[in-house]
Protein backbone atom coordinates (compact mmCIF):
# COMPACT_ATOMS: atom_id res chain seq x y z
CA UNK A 1 0.00 0.00 0.00
CA UNK A 2 1.70 3.18 -1.22
CA UNK A 3 0.66 6.35 0.57
CA UNK A 4 1.21 9.88 -0.73
CA UNK A 5 1.22 12.89 1.58
CA UNK A 6 -0.13 16.04 -0.09
CA UNK A 7 0.20 19.48 1.50
CA UNK A 8 -2.16 21.99 -0.17
CA UNK A 9 -0.80 25.54 0.10
CA UNK A 10 -2.50 28.71 -1.09
CA UNK A 11 -1.19 32.24 -0.81
CA UNK A 12 -4.50 34.06 -0.48
CA UNK A 13 -6.09 34.06 2.96
CA UNK A 14 -8.62 36.53 4.30
CA UNK A 15 -7.20 36.41 7.82
CA UNK A 16 -3.50 35.87 7.07
CA UNK A 17 -2.37 36.43 3.44
CA UNK A 18 0.83 34.66 2.46
CA UNK A 19 0.95 32.52 5.57
CA UNK A 20 2.66 29.47 3.95
CA UNK A 21 5.74 31.69 3.53
CA UNK A 22 5.80 33.29 6.97
CA UNK A 23 9.03 32.85 8.90
CA UNK A 24 8.84 30.69 12.02
CA UNK A 25 12.15 30.79 13.86
CA UNK A 26 14.23 30.67 10.69
CA UNK A 27 12.07 28.40 8.51
CA UNK A 28 8.91 29.04 6.52
CA UNK A 29 5.69 27.47 7.71
CA UNK A 30 5.36 25.32 4.59
CA UNK A 31 8.91 24.02 5.05
CA UNK A 32 8.19 23.05 8.65
CA UNK A 33 5.02 21.18 7.65
CA UNK A 34 6.91 19.41 4.86
CA UNK A 35 9.82 18.37 7.09
CA UNK A 36 7.49 17.12 9.82
CA UNK A 37 5.52 15.11 7.26
CA UNK A 38 8.69 13.44 5.99
CA UNK A 39 9.16 11.95 9.47
CA UNK A 40 6.03 9.82 9.06
CA UNK A 41 6.90 6.15 8.64
CA UNK A 42 3.71 5.60 6.63
CA UNK A 43 4.28 8.01 3.75
CA UNK A 44 6.20 6.88 0.69
CA UNK A 45 6.43 10.43 -0.64
CA UNK A 46 5.35 13.98 0.24
CA UNK A 47 4.44 16.75 -2.22
CA UNK A 48 3.31 20.36 -1.82
CA UNK A 49 0.36 21.36 -4.03
CA UNK A 50 -0.02 25.07 -4.80
CA UNK A 51 -1.44 27.43 -7.41
CA UNK A 52 0.99 30.20 -6.48
CA UNK A 53 4.37 30.70 -8.19
CA UNK A 54 5.86 32.33 -5.09
CA UNK A 55 5.12 29.26 -2.99
CA UNK A 56 6.23 26.95 -5.81
CA UNK A 57 9.61 28.70 -6.16
CA UNK A 58 10.16 28.76 -2.40
CA UNK A 59 9.45 25.05 -1.99
CA UNK A 60 11.77 24.28 -4.89
CA UNK A 61 14.49 26.35 -3.19
CA UNK A 62 14.75 23.95 -0.24
CA UNK A 63 14.66 20.85 -2.43
CA UNK A 64 11.14 19.61 -1.74
CA UNK A 65 8.68 18.05 -4.18
CA UNK A 66 6.08 20.58 -5.38
CA UNK A 67 3.48 20.74 -8.14
CA UNK A 68 1.44 23.61 -9.55
CA UNK A 69 -2.33 23.09 -9.63
CA UNK A 70 -5.32 24.91 -11.02
CA UNK A 71 -6.29 28.19 -9.37
CA UNK A 72 -9.98 27.25 -9.63
CA UNK A 73 -10.06 24.87 -6.67
CA UNK A 74 -12.33 25.85 -3.80
CA UNK A 75 -10.75 23.57 -1.21
CA UNK A 76 -7.61 21.68 -0.32
CA UNK A 77 -9.51 18.47 -1.02
CA UNK A 78 -10.05 19.52 -4.63
CA UNK A 79 -6.36 20.39 -4.94
CA UNK A 80 -5.41 16.96 -3.59
CA UNK A 81 -7.75 15.37 -6.10
CA UNK A 82 -5.88 16.97 -8.99
CA UNK A 83 -2.51 15.89 -7.61
CA UNK A 84 -3.72 12.34 -7.03
CA UNK A 85 -4.33 11.86 -10.75
CA UNK A 86 -0.65 12.56 -11.39
CA UNK A 87 0.53 9.77 -9.08
CA UNK A 88 -1.00 6.59 -10.58
CA UNK A 89 1.07 4.20 -8.45
CA UNK A 90 -0.28 5.43 -5.10
CA UNK A 91 -3.25 3.84 -3.31
CA UNK A 92 -3.91 6.28 -0.45
CA UNK A 93 -3.74 10.08 -0.50
CA UNK A 94 -3.33 12.05 2.74
CA UNK A 95 -4.42 15.67 2.87
CA UNK A 96 -2.02 17.30 5.34
CA UNK A 97 -2.97 20.75 6.58
CA UNK A 98 -0.41 23.31 5.43
CA UNK A 99 -0.92 25.58 8.43
CA UNK A 100 0.18 23.18 11.18
CA UNK A 101 3.97 23.59 11.38
CA UNK A 102 4.22 21.39 14.48
CA UNK A 103 2.18 18.48 13.13
CA UNK A 104 3.27 15.27 14.81
CA UNK A 105 4.17 12.50 12.33
CA UNK A 106 2.53 10.01 14.71
CA UNK A 107 -0.81 11.61 13.85
CA UNK A 108 -0.19 10.89 10.18
CA UNK A 109 0.75 7.30 11.01
CA UNK A 110 -2.39 6.86 13.11
CA UNK A 111 -4.55 8.16 10.29
CA UNK A 112 -2.91 5.85 7.75
CA UNK A 113 -3.47 2.85 10.03
CA UNK A 114 -7.22 3.22 9.42
CA UNK A 115 -6.65 1.76 5.96
CA UNK A 116 -5.57 -1.57 7.41
CA UNK A 117 -9.32 -2.20 7.25
CA UNK A 118 -10.17 -2.99 3.65
CA UNK A 119 -13.53 -1.20 3.80
CA UNK A 120 -12.05 2.17 4.79
CA UNK A 121 -12.48 4.71 2.01
CA UNK A 122 -12.09 7.98 3.98
CA UNK A 123 -10.43 8.50 7.34
CA UNK A 124 -9.87 11.37 9.74
CA UNK A 125 -8.91 12.00 13.38
CA UNK A 126 -10.83 13.09 16.45
CA UNK A 127 -9.72 14.09 19.93
CA UNK A 128 -11.52 14.09 23.25
CA UNK A 129 -12.75 17.55 24.23
CA UNK A 130 -11.18 18.56 27.52
CA UNK A 131 -12.35 22.13 28.11
CA UNK A 132 -15.63 23.99 28.06
CA UNK A 133 -14.09 26.65 25.82
CA UNK A 134 -13.63 23.97 23.15
CA UNK A 135 -16.99 22.36 23.83
CA UNK A 136 -19.00 25.50 23.13
CA UNK A 137 -16.73 27.10 20.51
CA UNK A 138 -18.40 27.11 17.09
CA UNK A 139 -14.98 27.23 15.43
CA UNK A 140 -14.21 23.81 16.93
CA UNK A 141 -16.31 21.25 15.03
CA UNK A 142 -17.60 18.40 17.16
CA UNK A 143 -18.11 14.81 15.96
CA UNK A 144 -20.52 12.00 16.81
CA UNK A 145 -18.82 8.59 16.45
CA UNK A 146 -20.65 5.27 16.19
CA UNK A 147 -19.60 1.87 17.56
CA UNK A 148 -17.88 1.01 14.26
CA UNK A 149 -15.56 4.01 14.72
CA UNK A 150 -17.25 5.96 11.95
CA UNK A 151 -18.32 9.59 11.98
CA UNK A 152 -22.10 9.93 12.14
CA UNK A 153 -22.16 13.73 11.98
CA UNK A 154 -19.96 16.82 12.34
CA UNK A 155 -21.31 20.08 13.72
CA UNK A 156 -20.23 23.49 14.91
CA UNK A 157 -22.90 23.08 17.56
CA UNK A 158 -22.18 21.04 20.65
CA UNK A 159 -23.35 17.50 19.93
CA UNK A 160 -24.91 15.54 21.45
CA UNK A 161 -27.18 17.84 23.44
CA UNK A 162 -27.53 16.61 27.02
CA UNK A 163 -31.15 17.18 27.86
CA UNK A 164 -31.92 18.07 31.45
CA UNK A 165 -28.23 18.55 32.35
CA UNK A 166 -26.68 21.89 33.25
CA UNK A 167 -24.09 22.80 30.62
CA UNK A 168 -21.39 23.27 33.23
CA UNK A 169 -21.70 19.53 33.99
CA UNK A 170 -21.64 18.20 30.44
CA UNK A 171 -17.96 17.17 30.31
CA UNK A 172 -18.35 15.18 33.51
CA UNK A 173 -21.28 13.17 32.15
CA UNK A 174 -20.36 12.49 28.52
CA UNK A 175 -17.28 12.06 26.29
CA UNK A 176 -17.35 14.65 23.52
CA UNK A 177 -15.04 14.59 20.50
CA UNK A 178 -13.70 17.41 18.36
CA UNK A 179 -12.48 17.05 14.80
CA UNK A 180 -8.78 17.12 13.91
CA UNK A 181 -8.79 18.28 10.30
CA UNK A 182 -6.47 15.86 8.55
CA UNK A 183 -7.96 13.45 6.00
CA UNK A 184 -6.89 10.41 4.00
CA UNK A 185 -8.68 8.88 1.03
CA UNK A 186 -8.48 5.93 -1.27
CA UNK A 187 -7.68 7.41 -4.66
CA UNK A 188 -10.94 6.29 -6.28
CA UNK A 189 -12.98 7.77 -3.45
CA UNK A 190 -11.19 11.11 -3.62
CA UNK A 191 -11.84 11.27 -7.35
CA UNK A 192 -15.53 10.63 -6.73
CA UNK A 193 -16.11 13.13 -3.93
CA UNK A 194 -14.43 15.98 -5.81
CA UNK A 195 -17.21 15.61 -8.39
CA UNK A 196 -20.01 16.03 -5.85
CA UNK A 197 -22.03 19.21 -5.73
CA UNK A 198 -22.10 21.29 -2.56
CA UNK A 199 -24.78 19.84 -0.28
CA UNK A 200 -27.41 21.43 1.96
CA UNK A 201 -25.73 20.27 5.17
CA UNK A 202 -22.36 21.54 3.98
CA UNK A 203 -23.88 24.96 3.27
CA UNK A 204 -25.57 25.04 6.66
CA UNK A 205 -22.49 24.21 8.73
CA UNK A 206 -19.70 25.27 6.33
CA UNK A 207 -18.08 21.84 6.77
CA UNK A 208 -17.19 20.05 3.52
CA UNK A 209 -17.12 16.57 5.09
CA UNK A 210 -20.90 16.77 5.49
CA UNK A 211 -21.17 16.65 1.70
CA UNK A 212 -19.54 13.23 1.75
CA UNK A 213 -21.76 11.91 4.54
CA UNK A 214 -24.89 13.32 2.88
CA UNK A 215 -23.95 11.39 -0.26
CA UNK A 216 -23.52 8.11 1.60
CA UNK A 217 -19.75 7.97 2.12
CA UNK A 218 -18.51 6.52 5.40
CA UNK A 219 -15.71 8.28 7.30
CA UNK A 220 -13.64 6.11 9.64
CA UNK A 221 -12.14 7.91 12.62
CA UNK A 222 -9.20 7.25 14.90
CA UNK A 223 -8.87 8.88 18.31
CA UNK A 224 -5.69 10.83 18.91
CA UNK A 225 -4.40 12.25 22.18
CA UNK A 226 -2.14 14.71 20.37
CA UNK A 227 -3.17 18.33 19.97
CA UNK A 228 -2.93 20.35 16.74
CA UNK A 229 -1.56 23.88 16.61
CA UNK A 230 -2.87 25.58 13.47
CA UNK A 231 -1.93 29.10 12.40
CA UNK A 232 -4.97 31.01 11.19
CA UNK A 233 -4.06 34.49 12.44
CA UNK A 234 -0.94 36.50 13.39
CA UNK A 235 -1.90 35.87 17.01
CA UNK A 236 -1.67 32.11 16.42
CA UNK A 237 1.85 32.62 15.07
CA UNK A 238 2.94 34.20 18.34
CA UNK A 239 1.66 31.15 20.24
CA UNK A 240 3.69 28.82 17.98
CA UNK A 241 6.82 30.93 18.44
CA UNK A 242 6.37 30.64 22.19
CA UNK A 243 6.14 26.84 21.93
CA UNK A 244 9.21 26.59 19.69
CA UNK A 245 11.14 28.97 21.94
CA UNK A 246 10.39 26.89 25.01
Model confidence over 152-174: pLDDT tens digits? 999 999 999 999 999 999 999 99
How far, in Å, are 5, 25, 34, 96, 183 from residue 64 at the CA level? 12, 19, 8, 15, 22
Fold of domain 3-124+177-197+209-245: Spore Coat Polysaccharide Biosynthesis Protein SpsA; Chain A (3.90.550)
Average pLDDT over residues 70-87: 90
Model confidence over 12-21: pLDDT tens digits? 776 777 889 9
The domain ranges of the chain are 3-124+177-197+209-245
**Would you place residue 199 in the very low, low, confident or very high pLDDT band (cuts 50, 70, 90)?**
very high
Three-class SS state of 89: coil
Average pLDDT over residues 49-66: 96
How far, in Å, are 16, 107, 163, 209 from residue 236 at the CA level? 10, 21, 35, 25
Amino acid sequence: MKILGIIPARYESSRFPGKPLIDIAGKSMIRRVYEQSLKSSSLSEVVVATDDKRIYDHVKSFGAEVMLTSDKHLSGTDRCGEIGQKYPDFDILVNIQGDEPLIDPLQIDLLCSCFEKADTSIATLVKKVISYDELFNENTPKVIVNKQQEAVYFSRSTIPFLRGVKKENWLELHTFYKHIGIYAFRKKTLSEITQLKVSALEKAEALEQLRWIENGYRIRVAVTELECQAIDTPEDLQKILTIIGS
